[in-house]
Every structure is written in structure tokens, then in C-alpha cells.
């Protein structure tokens, strides 16, 4: 029996739809956690760009910052799901490399966002803030803000050995004019002016605990560097409880919307703003291009950084809180 014209037409449409779906590029995004506002916004940016460019974005993460095993599992699941590009913010810059190599051997392009691998060349490309420069900017601001006072510093860092944590920490010390290490080092410099160091894992509660411990160690602390704004909020809470919040300068990195509001409220003196939406959009666009042409990205792309401060300091280039709110996370 011959199929009707209508049936043939429906079959053709179904085949076309199936082919179009099959051709839809699948791009994976793996973040350090799914709760940090920075990574929540990065996921939103990737999904929006995927929708715009006709790509399917699937996402996964570790349970906590430092959960390398969780990121490996997410990567394996994405390869099985047909992802030909994987974007990742690596929690462990070294331990993730065997999984990245395995993905690349399966024809997957791997791009690091925000956080480099160690070595950086382990991935096809890196879209990220210059984290050392971000640290330098807040270090310069902190020195000016102290107004000649002798610095007594606490640092609330990320976790041992992570490139982002090291670059921001060492950049901060370099910007302040203290003994430091260069941008290639994953060790944390500790000049005499740094009287306490604590790992916050970028978490508010851990930041608060770290600050409480540092105050017990040295109540004279007058400057606090924090890896990000959640850690800064935790530090401020500890300082306020101790009645010291007006005597301490807090500087940080990220420039998220909540963080910029904290700058305006006097919780944070200044923050270096980075742009996760831009990182995510660039990564998805590169994945779509790879699916269409087979062309891979290469090397490092700087996605920019801007110092945001409520009170400008002489000789330090910064933007005000309104500008920071207009740009937070990289929104238009």
C-alpha cells in the first residue's frame, strides 16, 4: 500500500526534526560547586548563550570547592551524553588532568573557565580573569586606604595549592608592595606583615571561623584580604561580633552583585570585579564553532577585571559602586 502524501510529509518533517536535534551541539559545563553565586551566574550565562546559538548545555559540579572526584564523574557523564566541548572551572588544577586527557582522546575540546589547570597547557584554552592582576589592584587600594598605618594582615585564602588562590593572594601582596611570589607560583607568600592565614574555601561560614581564629591569634589585625566576597562577608560578621568592623579594611575579589552591594554598605572596602557571564558565553561560542568547523581555541584569553570601590583613593584607578552594579557578573 502506498503512503499518502500527508504521511510522507509528516515522515519527512519528523526526519528533519530528528536530524536537526542530532546536529545540535552538546556542550558541558562543570563548575566547582552549584551553590556559589559566581558559578550559578556562570551556568545561567552558558545556558543563555547556548539557547541563542542553538546548542544544548548540560551542567554538573563538585559538591564543594576541592571536590575533584565529583568533577571527574561529571566529565565522564558528559562524554557519555555526547558532549564534544566541556567547559570546566577545575577544583584541583593537577588532579583533574588525567580526566581532561581522556576526554581529549575522545575528541572532546576542553576549555578552562576562571581557574587554570597546572600546567595551563593541559586544556585547549583558558577564558579567565588575570587573577594576579586582580590581587594587585586590591593590594594597591588597601595600601592607600590604610593611609600610612603599619599593616597587620590576615588572609582568608582558598585552599592549598590552587592557582587562583595563589595568584590572588600573591598579587595582593605585590600590589601592597610587600614580599611576594610571582604569578606562576602556586605557593602562598607570607611576609612578616601577614600575621594569620586561613583557608576559607570561598565559603562565608569558613571565612567567619577563619577570621575568629585570626583575631584570637592577633587582635591588632587592621587589614583582611579575602579570596572572594562570601569569605569577606564571613570575615565582616566575625569582626562585627568582636566590635572591630570599623577598624579593619577588607578587600576581596569577584565583583558579584551581592559583593558590590557590600562595598556600598561599607562591609568591603574594595573588590576586583570579574565577569563569569562573559567567560561562559565565550566558552559556549567556542564550542559551537568547534562543532561546526572542527576549529579549536588555543591559549589564554583575558576576560577583564575592574577595581570597584565606594571611596576612591589617590593614585589608584577604580570605578564607583553604581558602575559595579551595572557591570556585576558581566550583565549588560
Show the domains of the chain with their CATH numbers.
5-129+276-297 (3.40.50.2300), 131-273+307-330 (3.40.50.2300)
Q: What is the pTM of this model?
A: 0.86
The H-assigned helical ranges of the chain are 5-23, 37-53, 68-80, 97-105, 131-146, 163-176, 204-217, 229-241, 257-264, 276-293, 321-327
pLDDT of residue 201: 93
Instruction: Using CA atoms of 169, 175, 178, 184 in order, give the dihedral in degrees to the nearest 10.
Output: 50
Residues 94-117: what's their mean pLDDT?
Answer: 96
Q: Pairing between strand 85-88 and 56-61? A: unpaired
**Cell numbers at 229, concatenated:** 566576597
**Cell numbers at 185, concatenated:** 607560583
Summarised one tens digit per residue, pLDDT across range 193-251 is 999 999 999 999 999 999 999 999 999 999 999 999 999 999 999 999 999 999 999 99
SS3 assignment, position 120: helix
Summarised one tens digit per residue, pLDDT across range 253-280 is 999 999 999 999 999 999 999 999 999 9
**Cell numbers at 250, concatenated:** 577588607
Q: Is the pLDDT of residue 14 over 50?
A: no
Contact 235, 208 (CB under 8 A): yes
Cell 581522556 sits at which residue?
Answer: 102
SS3 assignment, position 188: coil
Summarised one tens digit per residue, pLDDT across range 106-162 is 999 999 999 999 999 999 999 999 999 999 999 999 999 999 999 999 999 999 989
Give the list of residues 6+ apart from residue 223 with CB closer than 8 angstroms, or none: 142, 146, 151, 152, 153, 154, 248, 249, 251
Going 123 to 126 to 129 to 135, the CA torsion angle's sign is positive
Mean pLDDT score across all residues of the chain: 92
Amino acid at each position: 500500500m502506498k503512503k499518502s502524501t500527508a504521511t510522507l510529509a509528516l515522515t519527512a518533517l519528523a526526519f528533519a526534526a530528528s536530524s536537526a536535534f542530532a546536529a545540535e551541539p552538546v556542550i558541558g559545563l562543570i563548575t566547582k560547586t552549584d551553590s556559589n553565586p559566581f558559578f550559578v551566574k556562570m551556568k545561567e550565562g552558558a545556558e543563555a548563550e547556548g539557547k541563542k546559538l542553538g546548542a544544548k548545555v548540560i551542567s554538573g559540579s563538585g559538591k564543594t570547592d576541592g571536590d575533584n572526584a565529583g568533577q571527574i564523574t561529571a566529565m565522564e557523564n558528559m562524554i557519555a551524553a555526547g558532549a564534544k566541548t566541556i567547559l570546566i572551572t577545575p577544583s584541583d588544577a593537577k588532579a583533574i588532568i588525567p580526566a581532561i586527557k581522556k576526554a581529549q582522546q575522545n575528541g572532546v575540546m576542553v576549555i578552562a573557565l576562571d581557574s587554570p589547570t597546572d600546567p595551563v597547557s593541559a586544556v585547549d584554552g583558558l577564558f579567565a580573569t588575570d587573577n594576579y592582576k586582580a590581587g594587585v589592584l586590591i593590594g594597591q587600594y588597601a595600601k592607600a586606604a590604610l593611609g600610612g598605618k603599619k599593616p597587620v594582615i590576615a588572609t582568608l585564602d582558598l585552599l592549598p595549592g590552587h592557582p587562583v588562590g595563589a595568584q590572588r593572594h600573591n598579587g595582593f601582596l605585590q600590589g601592597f608592595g610587600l614580599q611576594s611570589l610571582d604569578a606562576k607560583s602556586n605557593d602562598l607568600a607570607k611576609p612578616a606583615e601577614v600575621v594569620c592565614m586561613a583557608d576559607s574555601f570561598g565559603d562565608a561560614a569558613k571565612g567567619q571561623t577563619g577570621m575568629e581564629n585570626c583575631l584570637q591569634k592577633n587582635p591588632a589585625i587592621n587589614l583582611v584580604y579575602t579570596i572572594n566576597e562570601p569569605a569577606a562577608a564571613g570575615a565582616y560578621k566575625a569582626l562585627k561580633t568582636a566590635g572591630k568592623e570599623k577598624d579593619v579594611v577588607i578587600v576581596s575579589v569577584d565583583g558579584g552583585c551581592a559583593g558590590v552591594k557590600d562595598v556600598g554598605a561599607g562591609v568591603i572596602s574594595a573588590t576586583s570585579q570579574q565577569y563569569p557571564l562573559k567567560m561562559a558565553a565565550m566558552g559556549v561560542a567556542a564550542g559551537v564553532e568547534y562543532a561546526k568547523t572542527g576549529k579549536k581555541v588555543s591559549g589564554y584569553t583575558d576576560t577583564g577585571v575592574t577595581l570597584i570601590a565606594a571611596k576612591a583613593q589617590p593614585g589608584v584607578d577604580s570605578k564607583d559602586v553604581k558602575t559595579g552594579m551595572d557591570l556585576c557578573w558581566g550583565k549588560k
